[in-house]
Amino acid sequence: MNMEDVQSRGSKNRIKKCVFDLLSIGEMSDDENSWDILGKDLQLKSVFLYCDFSRVISHAPEEQKKSLTELANRLFYYIEELDHAVKLRSIPLTQNRYSDAAVVFHEVMAVML
C-alpha cells in the first residue's frame, strides 16, 4: 500500500466520521448555546469535508471523479442550506433542511465504504 492509498483511506474515514456526526445531530433545542454550537460544528465539519473530499477525488480513478464531484457538490449545497437555516434560528426550517441533507449524508456514507 502506497502513501496515496493511506491518505485517501484516512480522508474517507474522516468523511464518514464527519457525516456520521452530522447524522446524529438529533433534536434541536431553542437556546442560544445550541444554535451557536451547531453553527460552529457545521462550519468546522464542512472545512474537513472539503479538504478530505478534494483528496479523495484527486486520488480516485478517472471514471469515478465526476460522480464523486457531483456528490460533493450536493453535500456542500445541503450543508450550506442547513447552515443558513441555523443562522436564522428557525427550528422548523432547520429540521426541513436537515431532512434534505440527511438523504445526501446517507449517500456519502454508502460511497465511502
| Rounded-to-integer distance, Cα 106 and Cα 89, Å | 25
What's the grid cell of residue 18?
464527519
User: Does 28 score more than 80 pLDDT?
Assistant: no
Q: What is the pTM of this model?
A: 0.90
pLDDT in tens, 96-111: 999 999 999 999 999 9
pLDDT of the residue at 81? 97
Q: What is the pLDDT of residues 53-97, one digit of tens each?
A: 999 999 999 999 999 999 999 999 999 999 999 999 999 999 999
- Name which of 19-28, 36-45, 47-56 the model is least confident about: 19-28
25 exposure class (CB count in 10 Å sphere: 0-12, 13-18, 19+): middle
Provide the pLDDT confidence category of residue 32 given band limits of 50, 70 and 90: confident
Domain-wise residue ranges, the chain: 13-20+29-111
Residue 1's pLDDT is what? 67
Q: Is 86 helix (H, G, I), strand (E, B) or coil?
A: helix
Exposure string over 79-107, b if 16+ CB within 10 A, otherwise e: bebbbebbeebbbeebeebbeebbebbee
Indicate the CATH number for domain 13-20+29-111: 1.20.120.290
pLDDT of residue 24: 87
Residue 58: φ, ψ to 5°: -65, -25
